[in-house]
Each structure stands twice: as structure tokens, then as C-alpha cells.
């Protein structure tokens, strides 16, 4: 009986070690998306120092595209620039500090130089138009499809063990 318990204990230990070793490659730093109210997990994207992501949407008032661009620095999310095509409620109209305004070849207005950490980056996913997430040069991800309409999505850069 004692020998059987020892064998079962060793088997359980080996299975636990095997599970840990096979999941070891899954640990690292990720951009993690969760519901800001409930904590419900939506997804994660592996990111390293210097990587970037953007969130794009159509402005609810002036109906033109807006793209907010972020970079991972010092294990945190920093806003780098905003690209937009028309003024409207909530769109920046004045520059502050080191911010600069430039124009894209397509007529876009690009405000950059924010250099501001965003410890609590949250977006409300649109009900009329979608929000899309692009990580580095990857394919855009529909936040409406991933999180649902009217979701309050919190973006965090964090270390994940699994």
C-alpha cells in the first residue's frame, strides 16, 4: 500500500513538472486586455521593449479616422502620437510642452512628442464603429469581435507566467 502511494506521488510530481516545463515558453511580457470593470480576460499579445501598438477608430462626431500609437518602454505603455484627419470633440486642438504637429502625405494631422506613461489605458469599444488593435506590423484585430460592443477595455503591459 505504501509503495503504491509513493508511486502515485512520484507520478503526480512528474506530471506537474512536465506541465511546468511545457508551459515555460509561454511566460514573458505581454500586452494584456481585460474588461476594466469585471477583470474578464480578453487576450494577450507578446511584446518586447521598443515594440509598439495602435488603436484605431472612427471619431463619433466628425466621422473621420483616429489612430492612437503607443510604445513599450521601461516595462510600461507610453503614448507616442495621435493621427487624425479632422477636428471634433475630444480631439487635441492645442500643443503642449514638447508636442509637435506635422502633416502626413494623406493630409492627416500627426501630433507627437507626448512621451507620457499610460498606467491605466482604457478604451470604450464603439457601438456604431469598431475599434481595431494593431500590434507592431501585424494584422488589425477587431476589438468589437474580441471584447464585444460597449466593452470597457483596459490595456496593461505585464509579466505573465502562463
128 pLDDT higher than 90: no
The pLDDT score that the predictor gives to residue 14 is 65
Residues 6+ positions from 64 with CB-CB distance below 8 Å: 58, 84, 85, 86, 88
Q: How far is CA 61 from the centre of its chain?
A: 24
2 pLDDT higher than 80: no
How far apart CA 54 and CA 136 sit, in angstroms, is 8
Count of other CB atoms within 10 angstroms of residue 151: 23
The pLDDT score that the predictor gives to residue 89 is 60
pTM, two decimals, is 0.81
Closest CA relative to residue 54, chosen from 65, 41, 40, 62? 65
Q: Would you place residue 21 in the very low, low, confident or very high pLDDT band (cuts 50, 70, 90)?
A: very low
Q: Which of 17-26, 104-113, 114-123, 126-135 has the lowest mean pLDDT?
A: 17-26
75 pLDDT higher than 70: yes
The pLDDT score that the predictor gives to residue 12 is 65
The pLDDT score that the predictor gives to residue 4 is 67
How far apart CA 64 and CA 59 sit, in angstroms, is 5
24 pLDDT higher than 60: no
5 pLDDT higher than 70: no
51 pLDDT higher than 70: yes
Q: Would you place residue 126 in the very low, low, confident or very high pLDDT band (cuts 50, 70, 90)?
A: confident
17 pLDDT higher than 80: no
DSSP 3-state of 55: strand
Amino acid at each position: 500500500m505504501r509503495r503504491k502511494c509513493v508511486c502515485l506521488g512520484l507520478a503526480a510530481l512528474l506530471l506537474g513538472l512536465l506541465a511546468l516545463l511545457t508551459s515555460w515558453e509561454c511566460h514573458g511580457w505581454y500586452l494584456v486586455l481585460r474588461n476594466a470593470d469585471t477583470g474578464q480576460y480578453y487576450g494577450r499579445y507578446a511584446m518586447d521593449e521598443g515594440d509598439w501598438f495602435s488603436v484605431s477608430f472612427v471619431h463619433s462626431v466628425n466621422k473621420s479616422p483616429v489612430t492612437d500609437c503607443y510604445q513599450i518602454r521601461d516595462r510600461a505603455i507610453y503614448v507616442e502620437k495621435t493621427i487624425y484627419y479632422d477636428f471634433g470633440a475630444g480631439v487635441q486642438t492645442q500643443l503642449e510642452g514638447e508636442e509637435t504637429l506635422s502633416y502626413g502625405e494623406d493630409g492627416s494631422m500627426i501630433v507627437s512628442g507626448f512621451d507620457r506613461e499610460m498606467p491605466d489605458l482604457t478604451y470604450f469599444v464603439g457601438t456604431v464603429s469598431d475599434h481595431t488593435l494593431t500590434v507592431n506590423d501585424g494584422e488589425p484585430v477587431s476589438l468589437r469581435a474580441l471584447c464585444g460592443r460597449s466593452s470597457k477595455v483596459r490595456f496593461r503591459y505585464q509579466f505573465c507566467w502562463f
